[in-house]
């Protein structure tokens, strides 16, 4: 690992690998639903609630881990997340009760995912690259979640059939442990480096070589800003409130896809194997949608990009209510679902970065995930109840359409300019 040169490509590759496991796992909760029910003996509603808790903790704990990173380091948080993920994967196959599965999968896996989060990983790299490269890195990092979904959807389905839940969880535990050495490399001090920021060419250093501080953290004056003061400042800003509310509706939508859409595909009479490949198609187009969103944010107002994505979801949700139950129709519909899913992250992150800078991004973006995953909790849990009582998800989709419309209107109303008195220090 020490032989790797610390440049834009290697840094981006490593954080994308880590986040592909995180996003791929969360994106394929639906694939694991039936194996978890069979292994634990719990019904669909109970396992849905446990997955809802996992979604909730993934959001609620992100700002807390962000504060912990401010007080210690991203290194500590990321390694802790890797250990929690590994422990959760190891315990899950042996759970035979609601409480034990809640602890192993709901709490340990959910907490681990929160620690190894988008905002935490981007914060590590954002201070080591040029500010003009941040949107591109953000788009690629976000897209890696779709890569994980694409690869893991058919693979997890195959493993669950071939080696059972025990073998599947062991398989997931290997890359979870790899996060530890990768984190040590990401946050390591480069030999001969001092307190320089990164990518300086003024002293004859190659443009893609990096210098970071001893702890891997910012040394800007704004780093001294207290976490509570930071949150109070953000919550007084209309732009941040609109982003917060909009991203909350996004969580409701994404939990339907990640937790229940796989099950809904099987309700159309499609086999689990075919459904896993359709879901892999969804993952491919989340990658394309995320990358396209990141590129559009470099050329168009980010509020227009964000509002249009939410608006697209309204039409897609209405289509799902009348779509024919053929494999080809569902596959085509899934393509557009993928394009509009994770693509909200890049404009949301971009707007937060523009207003508050790199140092505050992990905590503030983590707070947006509180609303995102709180809504995801409601969606995942409600979907389980509806599946058991009504045998379908029509009501859930209708609620989603109304929320997406509101998010679109709020996003178009965002003021896209720096907050008064807050100037982001450029990374040269």
In a domain, 221, yes or no: no
Q: How many secondary structure helices (H) and strands (E) does the chain include?
A: 18, 0
Any domain includes 314: yes
Measured CA to CA, the distance from residue 91 to residue 418 in angstroms comes to 46
Asked if residue 250 belongs to a domain, the reply is: yes
Per-residue confidence (pLDDT) for residue 102, from 0 to 100: 97
Rounded distance, CA 317 to CA 333, Å?
Answer: 10
| Cα–Cα dist 261/255, whole Å | 9
Structure tokens at 325: 């139950």
Question: Does 198 fall in a domain?
Answer: no
68 membership: H or E segment, kind and range: helix 44-71
Domain of residue 141 covers 8-190+227-412
User: CA-CA distances (angstroms) from residue 221 to 117, 152, 305, 421?
Assistant: 25, 42, 32, 14
- pLDDT confidence of residue 204: 41
The pLDDT, as a whole number, for residue 227 is 65
Ranges of residues in the chain with a pLDDT under 70 are: 1-4, 131-132, 189-227, 362, 417-428
Q: Is residue 135 part of a domain?
A: yes
Given a contact cutoff of 8 angstroms between Cβ atoms, the answer to whether 355 and 422 are in contact is yes
Residue 185 lies in a domain: yes
Helices (H), 187-271: 227-235, 238-255, 261-267
- Distance separating alpha carbons of residues 125 and 12, to the nearest angstrom: 8
Q: Please choose, from the candidates 245, 275, 266, the residue with its C-alpha nearest in 3D space to the C-alpha of residue 374.
A: 245
Nearest to residue 49, comparing CAs of 106, 92, 110, 114?
106
The stretches of 260-301 forming alpha helices (DSSP H) are: 261-267, 272-297
Q: For residue 77, is it within any domain?
A: yes
Task: Report how many domains make up the chain.
Answer: 1
pTM: 0.78
Query: How many degrees, rounded to 5, is the angle at CA 294 between CA 293 and CA 299?
Result: 90
Closest residue by Cα to residue 280 from 343, 340, 341, 335? 335
Token pair listed for 67: 């504060």
3-state SS class at 380: helix
CATH code of the domain in which 139 resides: 1.20.1250.20
Predicted pLDDT of residue 197: 43
Whether residue 419 lies inside any domain: the answer is: no
| pLDDT at 132 (0 to 100) | 67
């Amino acid at each position: 690992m020490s032989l790797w040169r610390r440049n834009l490509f290697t840094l981006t590759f490593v954080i994308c690998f880590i986040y592909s496991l995180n996003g791929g796992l969360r994106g394929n909760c639906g694939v694991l639903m039936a194996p978890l029910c069979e292994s634990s003996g719990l019904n669909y509603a109970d396992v849905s609630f446990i997955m809802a808790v996992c979604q909730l903790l993934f959001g609620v704990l992100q700002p807390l881990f962000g504060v912990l990173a401010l007080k210690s380091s991203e290194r500590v948080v990321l390694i802790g997340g890797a250990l929690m993920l590994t422990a959760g994967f190891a315990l899950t196959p042996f759970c035979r009760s609601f409480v034990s599965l809640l602890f192993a999968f709901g709490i340990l896996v959910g907490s681990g995912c929160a620690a190894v989060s988008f905002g935490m990983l981007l914060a590590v790299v954002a201070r080591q690259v040029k500010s003009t490269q941040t949107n591109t890195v953000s788009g690629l990092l976000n897209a890696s979640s779709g890569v994980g979904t694409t690869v893991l959807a058919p693979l997890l389905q195959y493993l669950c059939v071939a080696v059972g839940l025990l073998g599947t969880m062991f398989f997931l535990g290997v890359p979870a442990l790899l996060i530890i050495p990768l984190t040590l490399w990401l946050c390591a001090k480069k030999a001969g480096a001092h307190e320089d920021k990164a990518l300086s060419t003024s002293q004859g250093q190659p443009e893609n070589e990096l210098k970071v501080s001893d702890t891997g953290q910012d040394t800007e004056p704004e780093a001294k800003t207290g976490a509570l003061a930071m949150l109070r400042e953000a919550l007084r800003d209309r732009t941040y409130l609109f982003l917060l509310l909009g991203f909350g509706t996004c969580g409701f939508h994404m939990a339907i896809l990640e937790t229940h859409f796989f099950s809904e595909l099987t309700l159309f009479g499609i086999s689990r194997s075919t459904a896993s490949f359709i879901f892999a198609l969804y993952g491919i187009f989340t990658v394309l949608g995320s990358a396209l969103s990141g590129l559009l944010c470099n050329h168009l107002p980010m509020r227009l990009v964000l509002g249009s994505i939410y608006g697209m979801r309204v039409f897609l949700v209405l289509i799902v209510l009348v779509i024919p139950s053929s494999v080809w129709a569902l596959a085509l519909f899934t393509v557009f679902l993928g394009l509009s899913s994770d693509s909200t992250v890049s404009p949301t992150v971009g707007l937060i970065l523009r207003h508050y800078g790199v140092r505050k991004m992990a905590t503030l973006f983590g707070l947006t995930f509180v609303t995102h995953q709180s809504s995801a909790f409601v969606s995942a849990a409600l979907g389980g109840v509806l599946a058991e009582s009504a045998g379908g998800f029509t009501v859930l989709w209708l609620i989603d359409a109304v929320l997406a419309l509101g998010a679109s209107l709020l996003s178009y109303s965002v003021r896209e300019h720096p907050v008064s008195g807050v100037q982001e220090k450029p990374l040269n």
